Amino acid sequence: MVSIIPFTRFVAGSVEGSIAAVIPLTLASIPYFAQLSEKAISKIQPGLIEAALAIGASPLQIIYKVLIPEALPNIISALTSTLIHLIGYSTIAGALGSGGLGNLIIHKGYQSFHTDYVVATVISLIALVQTIQICGDYIANGSAHKNSNA
């Protein structure tokens, strides 16, 4: 976050607040999600792509009708992981001055010796992360390509 302060100031007009925190959080999450998505697509068997090429599919058809449907459960898992990491990153950003849960933990809880704020915030973060993980797993399992021969 600190290394891109000039860019954040140029885009958002400020380096403080929740709007300014969106820029570094976005820049941190895009490569992470891209790497996980690339790994998901690279796990697809080359035979599927060769079969699509053999029947005359165009590159766009291969992407939209072979690669994405086959990799969709793993892409959804990648999105789930990215969202969970963003929760952690945004909490850290809040501790650095952008507001939100990190600010609540640091200023109202830790510095004011109100452990109830810290405990409540940690419990809510755990509940939020678990909810996202359970929903992501459910959606990923529901989107799994079903084998018609089974």
65-83 confidence digits (pLDDT tens): 999 999 999 999 999 999 9
From CA 92, how far away is CA 73, in angstroms rounded?
29
Query: In this structure, which amino acid lies at residue 38?
Result: E
Give the pLDDT of residue 145. Answer: 62
Assign domain 5-142 to its CATH architecture: Orthogonal Bundle (1.10)
From CA 99, how far away is CA 84, in angstroms rounded?
18
Predicted TM-score (pTM) of the model is 0.81
Give the pLDDT of residue 71. Answer: 93
From CA 95, how far away is CA 105, in angstroms rounded?
8
From CA 75, how far away is CA 88, in angstroms rounded?
20
Q: How is the chain split into domains, by residue range? A: 5-142
Give the pLDDT of residue 149. Answer: 41
List, for the chain, all residue ranges whose pLDDT scores fall below the cut of 50: 147-150
Give the pLDDT of residue 146. Answer: 58
Q: Do the beta carbons of residue 24 and residue 93 sit within 8 Å?
A: yes
37-55 confidence digits (pLDDT tens): 999 999 999 999 999 999 9
Q: How far apart are the first and last CA of the chain?
A: 49
Give the pLDDT of residue 42. Answer: 93
